[in-house]
Amino acid sequence: MSDQDTPKQTTGRQPDTLAYTVKDRGQDKDPVWNRIGAAWAHKDGKGQDVILDAIPVDGRITLRENRAEDFKEKRRQSSQTRQDRGPGYDR
């Protein structure tokens, strides 16, 4: 790999895609999603640099759009709802 091919542009930027391994737990249970890496789109839009922290045993990697802003907003709303309920409120 040449210096030109290394993913230098990935530092300091949020990833465009997140990589997960998904384990099925049967019909009555939700699958378990474990984040194992991330990917950044190339400037020309024709590919991605993928950085993995782990490789799934079954070889299946699920790539999902990074929606960090959506999650931050949901977390903020959830926090605000708990504050509105007041102290000592049990779910």
Instruction: Let me know if residue 16 belongs to a domain.
Output: yes
Please state the domain count of the chain. 1
Instruction: Let me know if residue 17 belongs to a domain.
Output: yes
pLDDT of residue 67: 87
* Domain span including residue 40: 3-85
Instruction: Let me know if residue 30 belongs to a domain.
Output: yes
pTM over 0.85: no
| Residues pairing with 17 in the sheet | 39, 65
What is the end-to-end Cα distance of the chain in Å, rounded?
54
Residues of the chain with pLDDT under 70: 1-11, 69-75, 77-78, 80-91
Give residue-wise pLDDT tens across range 39-61: 999 999 999 999 999 999 999 99
Instruction: Let me know if residue 66 belongs to a domain.
Output: yes
Instruction: Let me know if residue 91 belongs to a domain.
Output: no
Instruction: Let me know if residue 90 belongs to a domain.
Output: no
